[in-house]
Structure 1
Amino acid sequence: MSPDLNYEDVTLIWLDENINENFDCLDTKCRLCTIVNYFKVFDNVQETVDYVQSALHEHLFLIVSGSLGETVLSCIHNEFQLKFIFVFCMNKEKHSEWTYKYEKICGIFIDKYELFHNLTAKVRIYEKSLLTISIFNRSYTTGEEHSIRDYTIEENVNLMWLEAFINILLDVPLDKNVAKQDMIAECRLYYTNNPAELKKIDEFENNYCPETVINWYTRDSFVYRLVNKALRMLNIDIIFKFRFLIIDLYQQLKQCHIDYMKSLSTIDPNKVIHTVYRCQHIGTHELEKLKASIGNMICPNSFFSTTEDCLMAQSFVAGSSSSECVIFQIDIPDSYYQNAVDTSNYICPFLKIENLSQFQSESEVIFSLGALFRIESVEKYNMWFVCLKFEDGNDELIKDFYQTDKLENQTYDWQSRCSVEDRILLLTEKFPLSSRNIINIYIKYGVFADVDGLTTAKTLTTYRKGFELLMKCLPDYHYALTIAMQLSIGLLYCNRGERFLAIQFGEEALHVAETYLQIDHECSLICYNYLAVIHQIEDQYTESLSIYEKMLSIAKEHDNSSALLAIYFDINRITCDFGDYEYEMVSLKKMVELERKLGCENLENNYYQFGSYYERQENFTIALYYYKEHFQCLLKKHACLIDLLRSYSRIGKMYEKYNHYIAALQIYIRVLLAEPITLISYGCSLLRNQISHEFIPNIKLKYNYILISQFVSNIKKNVS
């Protein structure tokens, strides 16, 4: 955490041409720094204007001298990122003449202690009111940081990644003492020049325990400011540094929520939480998004602070003339309490924290990360009211959102997962069970596309960053994650048509596997499989086959029959595509041999594969034998009618190929008569697909074509 970057919400600017290094100025700077850590000092109007106009994603508070105020405000007052202005001067009456024109001015101050008091109050209220919400709705595109995010593909992945990251923090073993010391060291580095925060950091180090986490989170301190902005902006680096505290906060909220739910039968019904409020300023265009999203879901990106007191909520609001004041009214329906049976499965706990908070008079109710709310209405009275309903996870949309990782909870093995993507996911089988779902999701969905559908350098950087954070969480699996990262990024380049880069990433992954994971031969096999597929896509048959043969050598050396079977399957596929019939037959026989060894022989598939092979060799007699056996397998397993008809038609085609026309015609007619309705729903006539152009002329020479064609024509009419 570099002191040169702002990890808090507010940036404070002080512009005064008379700033110097005398004691009073130094004292003022020190005191201002304790209020806002990220602090910029200017004595030049143009430099100030340039900075304000460049800080598009910051929340700027400006202290300006009376002599420069009117000049600088004429240039920057309407900048969206400039939130509040404080005029600090020697003559209040003189500057009252021009300050009334600017709505963002909070006051004119001649006493610095009065300035400190008002600035502190305004900063605290503003920080408290900041919130980022993701909307499950159609996309909007803007260039600013907003309090409401669009649920575009990028936001989808960001939010999914945040949820996934929190889950992995909860599940992966953590040495909290080490994590705590890491966090404290980073905070001390960031607040090097802020003695007030350094004192709080010392207090945190000496007195913190999990039971006090809510108190610390609600205090006016570095904890709230750093954690809240990191969550709101999805700054995974900072989230990781505060991982133990986020875990403690979530777990205490959940345990207290369980205790609260268990006590419902004994507490005063008036103390049951039914309605809470939150008030904040949002931009006009953001309000329009809310109005267009009625019935949809929203999800705050951080712990969500509310209060049971509507008037109290309105006191915690700070905004500007370019925004609208909105009261969010959140209803917790009776059904939530009635349906709460299994207390261990509360997904998003909430809690009234008055006894645990630093500010007990605020009647604060805090919702955990990932809470979901349905937008019920957006209406204008004396101010805008947005009515939300807390959702408890029973809604299908909510289940889909929360259970994404469960949907990805699959076992990957060499036989059942044949695509190159799934073979990469074989790496996840090596990770702790609790983290596999998270890594599966990130590998499969972690990269999002830009508006043109192309993966950009920025998204690749984000993707790589996510893997690096996974490596921090799972340091014992650093090299396996490195391989997964290289192969996943390589696939993205492959999909973009940049095959040279795709091969380069594959070779880098293979180098890691062969250098650092020699004892785990499957990592090398996965890398070789990736490279073989890339060469195959490039129609480089010789190179691809050579790699598969290298894989065979490795799998045989380690007696890995499962991998051998999968490799022979891939060899069979590539030799079939490139017409290498001799090698194709070798691979088919090896597949059957290995299936029998592993006890997973698939007679149905094998008969079909051999039939297809001999058909392409134009050995129709042997092909007919295997297709008949394939048909018998389908009959025994009571396959669906369409599969049976396909297989039976294939037999007819073999009879036709070696001129047994009567047998072929009998089969085709039986296919037509089998189930006309099914054939119609299938979309096309199997007879039309199977009968060759030469078939009818040959029939005509040997049989009474008129009678047969009339018969077939009548059948076709009936089918139609």
Structure 2
Amino acid sequence: MTTRTKIVWYDINNIQEDIYNKYNDYTFQFYNDTKKCIDYIKSINKSEAVFLVLSPLSALEILPHIHESRQLDSVFIYLNTHDVKIDESLLDKYSKIIGIFYDFQRLFQCIEETIDLAMKNVESFKFYEKHQKSTRELSKEFGSFLWLRLFKDVILKLPHNEEAKQEMIAKLKECYHNNNRQLKLIDKFNQEYKSTDVLRWYTGQPFLYKQINRALRTEDIKLLYTLRYFISDLSKSLDDEYQSTKDFFNSNVKFYRGVKVSHEEGKKLKENTGKLISMNGYLSTSFSKEVALMFAGESRENETSVLFEIECDFENINSVSMASIAYYSTNRDEEEVLFDFDTTFEILSTSKNISENYLVVKMKVTKEGIILAQEHIKQHNRQLETSSAILLYGYLLTVIGQYEKSIEYFHNLEKNPNGEDIAFIYNYLGDAYRFKGDYETALKYFKNSYEIMINSEPPRDILSSYLLNNIGSIFTTKGQYDVGLDYYKRVLNITKIDSNYAVITTTKEGIGNIYHRKGQYNEALKYLKSSLKIREKYLSGEHKEIGRLLSVIGCVYEDMDQLNTAFRYHKKSLEINEKCLPVGHSYISCSLRRIGNNLTNQGKYDAALDYYVRSLEMLQVLYPNGHLNIAVEFCNIGYIYYIKQDYSNALDYLNKSLHIRETLYADIKNRNLVTIFKYFGLVYMKLEKYDDALANHIYALKVCEDIYPIGHSLISDCLTNIGNAYRGMKDYVKAMEYYEKTTNNEKQNPTKPNLIRLARNYESIAICLSDQGNDQAGLEYRMKYVRTMKNVDPRISYVNVIDYIADMFFNKNIYDNALECYLTSLEMKSKCLPIADVRTAETLENIGNTYFEQDKNQLCENDEQYQIKARCYYEKALDIYKIKNDITTIYILNRIASIYENIRQYHCALEYYEQAKYFIENYFSLENSIKETNEHDITRMKRLIK
């Protein structure tokens, strides 16, 4: 319970000790003295809420003095016996009495429910920028304001009839089903209410204003829709009152509101100067600054007192709905003025009143919010050729991520369309279910919508094209690529670019995505780049759709193993998205994930992990109940831990990913599902749990074959993994069988064999042959691996394997092959490592060593050629080692010196031995034997020179 709520109990003798102990978390004030109780309640700040428990007798004595006090929220009459007769006039006279209770536990249940309702009416703010981009780029805050603004438009157009009234009555009775006092008031409202009395009922009855403001502040779409009958009357009345009284106001009037907010909310108010703010509820203000300050009270340890000073220029603002309601209020001295729930303000400044310790927030009423809302409504209407605020209202719930609310809204509309186009209702239901991840239901509604549109007279071709694209995207997500392709190509047959560029670009992108997933990368790039060209013609350079499409193209280059090109596309995509989208948007998360994938492929695992975590954090805010993309991110992070050999964390993240898939998306088979089981298999291989590895790899293959055509590179990957699992189990016959299947699958690739998968298969065959004792054949396949990898974009992970193979040849004195491998490694490292990286120096050193050893093992006409080449590579390695102050510097200096000594250039040899001595003495703490050897070398050179 917060410091804003207080339970005051009169007549402490009525408390049962055992039950009182049960509720000792609450803070009570107990009184037996009537005057002290009354004085205490009157002394409480008006911004706080008192919940008062009385006996029937004490109620007659106390309520006449305090019932109209603003701080008194609710009254509960408690008796521990049914024998006492209660004066019925008590309930009729005092509307704040919630009910009469004979059971202590039922009493406290009702107190808790009432406090909870009061807390949901506590001040809440939404801040947003003056300039929001297109509808899909809405910040969550502005999206919330926009759909509340549309809600007002919608309810003003909906039937205002007895049916709507009775729907509201039924809901209110449900809310107060155990409260006889409130039920009587609801019945009275049902019998006596007239629209002209709306302000009197709103100010006088808690069961109305509490439920309405709770629904607004919590954005409870179902409750708001149910209360539409009264809300529409209230908004109309505020507007009517304003129109009839505005001429009596001066041109510029100030209103005041005093509240207590958390320190965090106070900080947000300071940080958002210059931005727009909405209150998500009817806003009560006063003409009197003194009254507002009474409500603000004094700041406390956990709360900040705030005084809002609100300016309204009536000459320039004609769209605000507000009214003075002091005449209708039981507290007329408060001079209350009520603003409609869609009123927008601009924060002009914030300052601290030092002497009285409260925050002053100066604001002005602005029409900016209404203008922004109208711009977004017009844009959407142009896109889908509809001007229905009722439909747009539900669609915006989907845009801001409120999928369940959107679904509920459109299902209500489906039952009672009130003249709205049922085809659009089905389309929007499909959208909401698709974004929720329920693809089968989405498909059903898209198809229903399409059938209605195409069978209209005349057929609605442009609108039906949207539906065909939506259906195509669902089949693509489900991995049914040929079906999806058919739907997209139907769009191209009926739509021209000039008639609707948005449809065509979406279609071409969809076709490009399918070719990408089928491994036909050149075809994919053709359609995706065509889509990009059209978008760049019609949209600004920093539009989110351009940013998103650049990232998609980057993914194709990624799979073509053109990593540098892919990285440029991903980076540009992120730059555009961060400029034109609100922080935390799903497109930004997607760009971060794809950069993470690229860095993973480059072997930059720590940097990749950072991008994955940033993306995950955004997604968990966007989709607190889980989402397919969260499963993808868990999977990516799991793989990084696998690479880092942290297998426990790897399994943990992979299990998190699989849990989301199994819980929310059990019927979806796609690449991510293949990847999850593939990574499980790889981890189990490292843990030497080969049976578990095999089971996961076999399942990954099954999914792969369900969604990809024969010849796809991912099928090759799965086949090789199964072979590796059998190899781990020492079933070499089965292993070789699957390696052969990989080779055959690559031969059927519709474009060209995937060189990386092919090379990986060669390496697996080599290990399998070596394990069986056939080292010679194994080495031949290892050379096939190296020669294949020469033709792909370099990655450090590939280089590590090539270095390992080169070392094998070197150790077996097969220097020509070792040299070929080291030179391939050097070429790759020069492209994917920074200049002067120690890993490059190591390869240069290894090449020098190979030439050095060739000189010792081969007879040739010019026996100096290998030594000259060796010295050349040693010199290059030396330049890097010196920069890095690496101990290997000494070894290289000695090697170069020995080469000069072998060809009798003793002065040069002496120079390098002396450099080695300098490094030994000044940089490294080495064994005495190394120092002694160096001294002997120097002495020998000096003797030879003489």
TM-score if structure 2 supplies the norm length?
Answer: 0.40
Structure 2 vs 1, CA of residues 217 and 514 (structure 1 numbering), >3 Å: closer, same or farther? same
Corresponding residue for 1:529? 469
**How far does residue 387 in structure 1 lie from its aligned partner after superposition?**
2.9
Structure 2 vs 1, CA of residues 233 and 115 (structure 1 numbering), >3 Å: closer, same or farther? farther
Distance in 2, Cα, partners of 1:281 & 1:259: 33
8 Å Cα contact 1:182/1:241 also seen in 2: yes
Alignment pair present for 1:165 and 2:172: no
Structure 2 vs 1, CA of residues 404 and 319 (structure 1 numbering), >3 Å: closer, same or farther? farther
Alignment pair present for 1:353 and 2:325: yes
Alignment pair present for 1:546 and 2:486: yes
**1:164-210 superposed Cα distances (whole Å, 9 cap, x missing partner):** 2222222x341333212221232233333333323322332233222
Q: What's the RMSD between the two structures over aligned residues?
A: 5.0
Distance in 2, Cα, partners of 1:191 & 1:129: 17
Distance in 2, Cα, partners of 1:337 & 1:353: 18
8 Å Cα contact 1:179/1:244 also seen in 2: yes
Corresponding residue for 1:663? none
**How far does residue 302 in structure 1 lie from its aligned partner after superposition?**
0.9
**1:307-456 alignment runs, 5 A limit:** 307-316=286-295, 323-324=302-303, 326-333=305-312, 336-340=313-317, 346-375=318-347, 376-380=349-353, 381-393=355-367, 398=369, 401-412=372-383, 426=384, 429=385, 433-435=388-390, 437-438=392-393, 441-443=396-398, 445-447=399-401
**1:100-119 alignment runs, 5 A limit:** 112-113=58-59
Structure 2 vs 1, CA of residues 378 and 176 (structure 1 numbering), >3 Å: closer, same or farther? farther
Structure 2 vs 1, CA of residues 438 and 379 (structure 1 numbering), >3 Å: closer, same or farther? same
Alignment pair present for 1:487 and 2:430: yes
8 Å Cα contact 2:213/2:282 also seen in 1: yes
**1:466-489 superposed Cα distances (whole Å, 9 cap, x missing partner):** 434554774554843552244324
8 Å Cα contact 1:352/1:366 also seen in 2: yes
Corresponding residue for 2:243? 258
**1:130-152 superposed Cα distances (whole Å, 9 cap, x missing partner):** 543324269xxxxxxxxxxxx99
**How far does residue 229 in structure 1 lie from its aligned partner after superposition?**
1.5
Structure 2 vs 1, CA of residues 226 and 539 (structure 1 numbering), >3 Å: closer, same or farther? closer
**1:630-674 superposed Cα distances (whole Å, 9 cap, x missing partner):** xxxxxxxxxxxxxxxxxxxxxxxxxxxxxxxxxxxxxxxxxxxxx
**1:208-227 alignment runs, 5 A limit:** 208-227=193-212
Corresponding residue for 1:280? 259
Distance in 2, Cα, partners of 1:580 & 1:524: 29
8 Å Cα contact 1:86/1:106 also seen in 2: no
Distance in 2, Cα, partners of 1:350 & 1:538: 52
Structure 2 vs 1, CA of residues 297 and 506 (structure 1 numbering), >3 Å: closer, same or farther? closer
Distance in 1, Cα, partners of 2:392 & 2:50: 51
2:374 counterpart letter in structure 1:
Q
Corresponding residue for 2:28? 85
Q: Tell me, what secondary structure is at the counterpart of 1:338?
A: coil
Corresponding residue for 1:206? 191
Distance in 2, Cα, partners of 1:72 & 1:539: 57
**How far does residue 509 in structure 1 lie from its aligned partner after superposition?**
1.8
Distance in 2, Cα, partners of 1:91 & 1:437: 56
**1:529-571 superposed Cα distances (whole Å, 9 cap, x missing partner):** 3222455678866323433577799x79xxxx989x9789958
Structure 2 vs 1, CA of residues 233 and 320 (structure 1 numbering), >3 Å: closer, same or farther? farther
Q: Tell me, what secondary structure is at the counterpart of 2:382?
A: coil
Alignment pair present for 1:123 and 2:66: no
Corresponding residue for 1:461? 404
In structure 2, which of residues 209, 214, 217 is the aligned counterpart of residue 229 of structure 1? 214
Structure 2 vs 1, CA of residues 460 and 439 (structure 1 numbering), >3 Å: closer, same or farther? closer
Distance in 2, Cα, partners of 1:106 & 1:178: 35
**How far does residue 383 in structure 1 lie from its aligned partner after superposition?**
3.4
**How far does residue 290 in structure 1 lie from its aligned partner after superposition?**
2.3
Alignment pair present for 1:243 and 2:228: yes
Structure 2 vs 1, CA of residues 535 and 232 (structure 1 numbering), >3 Å: closer, same or farther? closer
Structure 2 vs 1, CA of residues 120 and 332 (structure 1 numbering), >3 Å: closer, same or farther? closer
**1:534-613 alignment runs, 5 A limit:** 534-535=474-475, 542-547=482-487, 574=511
Distance in 2, Cα, partners of 1:251 & 1:569: 42
**How far does residue 402 in structure 1 lie from its aligned partner after superposition?**
3.8
**1:660-701 superposed Cα distances (whole Å, 9 cap, x missing partner):** xxxxxxxxxxxxxxxxxxxxxxxxxxxxxxxxxxxxxxxxxx
1:542 counterpart letter in structure 2:
D
1:162 counterpart letter in structure 2:
L
Corresponding residue for 2:270? 291
**How far does residue 301 in structure 1 lie from its aligned partner after superposition?**
0.9
Give the unaligned 5+ runs of structure 2.
37-47, 75-114, 130-136, 527-946
Distance in 2, Cα, partners of 1:133 & 1:461: 23
The number of equivalent residue pairs is 444
Corresponding residue for 2:760? none
Q: Tell me, what secondary structure is at the counterpart of 2:269?
A: helix
**How far does residue 363 in structure 1 lie from its aligned partner after superposition?**
1.0
Corresponding residue for 1:17? none
Corresponding residue for 2:939? none
Which protein is bigger by CA-based radius of gyration?
2
Distance in 2, Cα, partners of 1:568 & 1:224: 49
**How far does residue 361 in structure 1 lie from its aligned partner after superposition?**
3.2
Which is richer in helix?
2
Distance in 1, Cα, partners of 2:235 & 2:248: 20
Q: Tell me, what secondary structure is at the counterpart of 1:507?
A: helix
Corresponding residue for 2:717? none
2:25 counterpart letter in structure 1:
I
Structure 2 vs 1, CA of residues 509 and 317 (structure 1 numbering), >3 Å: closer, same or farther? same
Distance in 2, Cα, partners of 1:548 & 1:105: 63
Distance in 1, Cα, partners of 2:430 & 2:120: 43
Structure 2 vs 1, CA of residues 384 and 72 (structure 1 numbering), >3 Å: closer, same or farther? farther
Corresponding residue for 2:448? 512
1:233 counterpart letter in structure 2:
T
Structure 2 vs 1, CA of residues 524 and 58 (structure 1 numbering), >3 Å: closer, same or farther? farther
1:446 counterpart letter in structure 2:
I
Corresponding residue for 1:691? none
8 Å Cα contact 1:331/1:389 also seen in 2: yes
8 Å Cα contact 1:306/1:364 also seen in 2: yes
Distance in 2, Cα, partners of 1:310 & 1:513: 56
Structure 2 vs 1, CA of residues 206 and 570 (structure 1 numbering), >3 Å: closer, same or farther? closer
**How far does residue 258 in structure 1 lie from its aligned partner after superposition?**
1.7
8 Å Cα contact 1:85/1:104 also seen in 2: no
**How far does residue 303 in structure 1 lie from its aligned partner after superposition?**
1.0
Corresponding residue for 1:186? 171
**How far does residue 213 in structure 1 lie from its aligned partner after superposition?**
0.9
